[in-house]
Structures are given as C-alpha cells and as structure tokens.
Structure 1
Amino acid sequence: MTSAHAYAVLDRIERFQGKIFSVVTDRVTMPGGGQAERDYARHVGAVGVVPLADDGRVLLVRQYRHPVGKVLWELPAGLVDVAGEPPADTARRELAEEADLRCERLDLLLDLHTSPGFTDELIRIFLARGLSAVPDADRFARSDEEAELTVEWVPLDDAVAMALRGEITNAAAVGGLLAAARVRDEDWHPLRAADTPLVR
C-alpha cells in the first residue's frame, strides 16, 4: 500500500559520519500539515548468503558482535562497500572470505530491511548451492573479530528450529533460513535470479 502523503524531507542534519553508517536527523512533513524530526542511521547496505550443501545442511557462522556483547549465530555476510561491485559478486566474495567456500549456483532469496525504525539498512540474501572448498593457498586471512569466527554445518530444518527457539536472533540469519526452507519445500520455484534489480 502506498501512502497518499509524500513525507517530504525539509532539511537534514548529519550528527555522525563513519565508514559503515552515518547518523542523521531529518525534518519531515507529516499528514495534517505538521512536521517532525526523525533520527536514523544511513547504512551502506549488506549481503548475506545461505550456503546449502547437497545433503541439506547449511553453514552457520559464530561471530562476536560488540553492540550486543555476545557471539551470535549468523550467515556469511558483509558490507556492500566496494564501489561498482554487483551484490551477487559481493555475496560470492563474502562466502569465500567467511566460509572458505565457492558456489556453482547463486540465487536471490530475499531483500530485508533489518530494522526500519532505526536504519535504512537493506540486506540482500542469496542462496548458494553447488559448494566447494576454497583451496588453502587462496583462503582469506581473517583479522579482528573475524579471526575467532567459527563455522558449523547444521541441517536446514534444525537451523530453522534454532531460530524458532530463539537461539538464532540475527535478523538476516532468521530471514534467510526461513526463506531457504520455504523455497526448498516449494521445489525452488520462488527463487529469483541473482542479478534481479534492487528496489530501494
């Protein structure tokens, strides 16, 4: 449903500028003629990948996330931070860097606004199949939090159950796993081409 009101941005104040996101305050027109200020984070965007093996297991990542102060179950994922790089290529790069995997087939699962009350971040999540290991000599050298990143192969249905039990709380991981299970159950028909244009 499209709103009849345009919500025009009258002005914007940038409060913080960082490498990954900025924080801004927009003054916005409201229905009925009023105005309101809205604070939010403008994000560069991200991709995530559900690596699905032929035996029905998915690869999950365990990574420390400082804002929540704990290690979370996640998908291989990363920022859209290379100028001109198509999201599908970013997904393949992140799959290699975080999971030491390559894929023969990459399909689009879903686009997900991670927390639209706080940020404009949009993550594009792909399904990767036809997996093979990156040769040892070509593997990415991880640093910082990623140096302690671990991976685990889990049956897809078990991963979905983990999400429903509250053991997986990362929004992209929950969305990606649920979507992967659904498209599997529908014989892959809902999948879209990896290069489907992104609608913002």
Structure 2
Amino acid sequence: SQEYSKECLQHVQSHIVRKDVPVTLFEPYIEEIYNHLRDEPFKKFLESEKYTRFCQWKNLELNIQLTMNDFSVHRIIGRGGFGEVYGCRKADTGKMYAMKCLDKKRIKMKQGETLALNERIMLSLVSTGIDCPFIVCMTYAFHTPDKLCFILDLMNGGDLHYHLSQHGVFNESEMKFYAAEVILVLNSYGASVLRKCR
C-alpha cells in the first residue's frame, strides 16, 4: 500500500483545523499517488498482457469505419437546430449511447458548417485525456450521405437545458449544485482546452 509523506498529512490537518477546506485540499496526496503509479506499477502494466490486449482493442477501435448498421437506433431523446438525438445500442457490445445526427441539408441551409465543425473539434478535445463525470464525451463519429453522426455518452437524467426548461428557475441549492459541476469541468480541462474552444 502507498505510504504518504508527513507533509501531506500536515497540509490536510492544518486546513481542517482552520476549517478552511479548499477544492485543492487533497492535491498533495493526488500528486504522490501519481508519482508512485508512474514508477514501478506503470512499468509492470506496460509489460503486462492486459496492456497488450488494451492496445490491440484500441487499434481496432480507432481503425474501424462505422456505419448506421453498427447501431440499433431507438427513440428520439432530443431535438436541436440541425437534427435529432436518439438513444442507440452498439450492435457488437450492447452498450447504450446517444446518437446525435446533424442533417447536412439543414446545416448548409442555415450556414452552420463552422458550428458543426467546431462542435466536432470540441467533442474530440474533451473526449481525450481527463475523464470527467460532468461532461458528455464522444466515443465515435461517422457520416452518412445525408447526416453527420456523433456517438456520445448517454445521460439518462437529461442535460442542463432540459432541467432549466422543466423547472423554469433553480432554487439556491440547485444553482450551487450546477455551478459546482460547471466549475469542476472547467477545472478538469484547464486553460489549454478552453483556449481552443473560444
């Protein structure tokens, strides 16, 4: 098991004694865990059969050309300016996703090419690297002759827009909750992704 330094313990205890609990309270512990994992455990993982298998599956995943036939498409779960969002199931794994289909004719008619391209870039940026539970990530993307399709995490509870349209106005505790989620997303991705999103 991982042994932590006295400095980490003192850092946490000093904040707790002062009743000052910042978001970064456990950062020293996280840093020590990362440093520990980067050393011997990661070297062992790189030499393991599990890592080899992971690379094989990743290679397969990145090189497959998906089509609509790879998914069982279910009911509409949302609508937008350029298309609809459907619930869908990937045929080979059985995993449920949301399939966002943007209609190419509607995009052209509304001169939304830049918006659609930016959305694709944005989804790619937030879907690689840090895993954040408060943001929808894209797993696959493909196109048909008439649609651009993004395969996204399925969020059964609905998005922020849905909850605003249902409630009208949030009370203070709900507002704090959603604000905290947004802040955590921004904190997770940092300035590099945000600069690219502007």
What band does the TM-score fall into relative to the shorter chain?
under 0.3
What TM-score do you get using the length of structure 1 for normalisation? Answer: 0.27
What TM-score does the superposition give when structure 2 sets the normalisation length? 0.27
Bigger strand fraction: 1
Decide which structure has the larger Cα Rg and report it.
2
Of Structure 1 and Structure 2, which has the larger fraction of its residues in helix? 2
